[in-house]
Amino acid sequence: MKTWQDNRERAWFTLAAWVVWGILLSTLAGSAPTVAAAASDSLVQLEKQVQEVAKRAIPATVCVLNPPGSGSGVIISEDGYVLTASHVSAGARNDKVRLILSDGRQVDATALGANRTRDAAILKIDEPGPWPHVPMGRSSELKEGDWVIALGHPGGYERGRTPPVRLGRLLGNVDGPFGLITDCTVIGGDSGGPLFNVHGEVVGIHSSIAASTAQNRDVPIDVFHRDWDVMLKGRRWGKLAQMLIPAGAGYLGVVAEPLDDGKGLKVVEVEKGGSAEKSGIAVGDILVSFDGYQLSNTYSLVESVAARLAGDVVKMELRRDGKAMTISVKLGPRPGESADTEHADWDLPSEVDELLDPMSEAERPSPEEGKSDAQKNSEEKSEKKTATKGKPTRIPLSALLPPSYFAENSGVRRGNEKPSKYQKKHPSVLGAFRSVAARAALSTVAVLNGSQPLALGTLVNRRGDVITKASELHGDLSIRYPDGTVQPCRIVGVHEQADLALLRPDVAGSHGGVPARWNRQPKPVGSLVITPDWRGRVLAVGVVSVASRRPRSARAFLGIATEDRPDGVMIVQVVPSTAAAQAGIRVNDILLKIGDDAIQSVEDVFAAIAKHSPGEKVEIHVRRSGEELTLHATLKTPPNMTARRFEEMNRMSGARSSRRSGFPQIVQHDAEIPPLACGGPLVDLDGKIIGINIARVGRVETDAVPADWLEPVLTELESGKLPPPEDFGRDDEAVRKEIAKTKAEIRRLQRRLRQLEQQLRGAPSGK
């Protein structure tokens, strides 16, 4: 295992080492006679502002459902006008989308106008208000270094989770393609969500990200102010920029347009020599499904193709001259890629440099009063013709990709990334929190295997016992205490569900540390949190994103599409190779029960599946030809692009914990900590420990076990009732790496053996 110093992805660990105890954050505090008092007052004021913004913003932040994907939006008026990103509402069937409010209510909304060039769009809720809403501010008033707050639905709507709150700072404000740039982290599903200033005004709408967690891009709110009247009239103009598809993704080579009824795509161009042409797809064909997924709009094809790798063979259903056909298609590599680029580095190809230049807005129309509907319809048709005219681009379908469908990479290696003076992980920012976390740092230790750090730990009593993250433990364990001494230790107990272990040193004593001082009162969303290390440095700061809750497990997937019919909920599609198909569920079956839940509407289907996890076996009751049947399905994880894309975004945004789910209770925050910092304390602004960091989950999320839940767990661990399993601490990952290394060496020796045998066969006789 690499040490902290050797690991480039964790190089910023050392950035705060030189920070003087009394450094102040310039934007937090003005001049003041005493360092501690000024910093404390400024931090308290910031915390109050974020908490107040969160309280007002959560009810107004919505999830925008536009199959096959989802995004976010924000209500900005009592009568239900909603701001979002244009790629979130684009392609909506009959211009209708579904909104889910933070309290779970669902309402329909109509897509109005859109400035596609700037990724801005407006929706209007169909039902009358009043609706919870927030005011619009002015992005032109923002300055670099200003604190900003992001909300949205990362990964899509999640039952029981309010829109997570995230805190960051403005790093750039330019009139270019990405407008506002912040280190207020967002990810797929957040697109269209709001960015607030500390006064609770919307100043931006989330648009795209790069690999760096300091590259989160928002549409400036001034774009909406300027184009408001035009978009309210339903005008849509401009073109989204070409963005990246993950390396190694499949390529079909067609340009297709959606049918008016939403039941397929008409092929208008077929690339010469591409996978589509080789498989027999022709201009005029109607593409109905791809690998079992129904194609309702262009995005459904984009996502489905990009979810498969080059070389994959998939089944496609199509119609030709009214006749249904099924063909096999072997996807090729994207132009400019070879078939073996699945694990290529995330470097930007040269042509994407164009994205970094300001986009021309010459196409932006001025408000046009008095135009008839006929004129507008004529213009819309003309725009569509122009958009499809001419030769296909290098990646035909990628021109339709929205900025955050596939996260593009800034080309900056995380190991070389140094925070700017405005970033929240700059030493000056972290230093402002150091005195707050000083006492908690004395309760923080490092857990080692020999000389290599495994995790942080939290000192829980004067005997020197330490609680830490269990799944990271292996080898010869020892504890490095605040006074610098290293004590060998043993594992007293393991709480496997919470992933916590209690360590006891061979030599009792606190060794320069002090036992944890807990705050077991739940902190409001928006509260500032700090993660210290055993040296007294501040590793990261953030806010409570979601209140303490029992987290939802990974999404389960059955593999059916359903419709409400007079005689019940009918299954209209069964996706091949899924749990439904393997259980024997068929199209036209009437769905009666999933597990213990009776099914009376399509909404009941989603609710019932959401109660289960991948891998669970569930009874499915259906009615088929008048007969009731009981089938058994083993649920799986979603195989679609949404899951893969979300995983890619998280993977490229930095190292994550090996175990990051399945905990019984968590408090979610947004502090960007390395996995090695798990097991250590999460500290509030009073310097008290509100939880134990348990997992770096992804780009926008770190989870902690809350302090109020820890008390009975500690009692159990200290009692000896939870001894470690016999095979606990076995380093399976090291064994897997050694196996892979050995196999690679065997392959190399086999190649060398074949070369020598060929030389021997080709040698002259007698030699």
Cβ atoms within 10 Å, residue 23: 18
Residue 516 main-chain phi, psi, to 5 deg: -60, 140
Q: Two tokens at 80?
A: 């239900």
Task: Measure the CA–CA gap between 614 and 636, rounded to whole angstroms.
Answer: 5
Which residues is 532 bridged to in the sheet?
538
Sign of the four-CA dihedral 445, 426, 46, 212: negative
What is the distance between the alpha carbons of residues 215 and 193, in angstroms, rounded to a whole number?
Answer: 16
Of the candidates 559, 610, 560, 620, which has an alpha carbon nearest to the alpha carbon of residue 588? 560
- Total Cβ atoms within 10 A of residue 89: 26
H helix runs in 389-524, sequence order: 427-432, 434-441
Say which amino acid occupies 63.
C
Question: Are 631 and 619 contacting, i.e. CB atoms less than 8 angstroms apart?
Answer: yes
Compute the distance between CA of residue 692 and CA of residue 713 in angstroms, rounded to an integer.
Answer: 12
| Residues 478/487, Cβ–Cβ less than 8 Å | yes
Locus of tokens 């970033």? 423
Write down the catalytic residue from 119, 227, 285, 465.
119
**Token reading at 407:** 């996260």
Q: If we measure between CA atoms, which residue out of 476, 499, 472 comes closest to residue 486?
A: 476
Rg of the Cα atoms in the chain: 28
Residue 362's SS3 state is coil
Residues 6+ apart with CB under 8 A from 430: 15, 16, 19, 537, 538, 539, 540, 541
Establish whether the linkage from the previous residue to 130 is cis, with ω within 30° of 0. yes
How far is 278 from 434, CA to CA, in rounded Å? 63
Residue 360 DSSP SS3 = coil
The catalytic position among 70, 191, 443, 527 is: 191
Q: How far apart are CA 510 and CA 505, in angstroms?
A: 10
Six token digits for residue 70: 């989802």
- Pairing mode, if any, of strands 617-624 and 590-594? antiparallel
For the chain, the 3-state helix, strand and coil shares in percent, each to the nearest 5, are 25, 30, 45
**Catalytic residue at 261?**
no
Q: Which residue has the tokens 């392609």?
A: 91
**Residues 527 and 544 sit within 8 Å (Cβ to Cβ):** yes
CA distance 753 to 233: 73
* Annotated catalytic residue within 87, 133, 495, 612: 87
Residues in the chain: 767
Find out whether 87 and 208 touch, Cβ atoms under 8 Å.
no
In one-letter notation, the amino acid at residue 571 is I
Where does 284-442 have alpha helices with state H? 298-306, 373-388, 427-432, 434-441
Active site residue 119: yes
Nearest to 156 by CA among 649, 632, 500: 649
Q: Which residues are catalytic?
A: 87, 119, 191
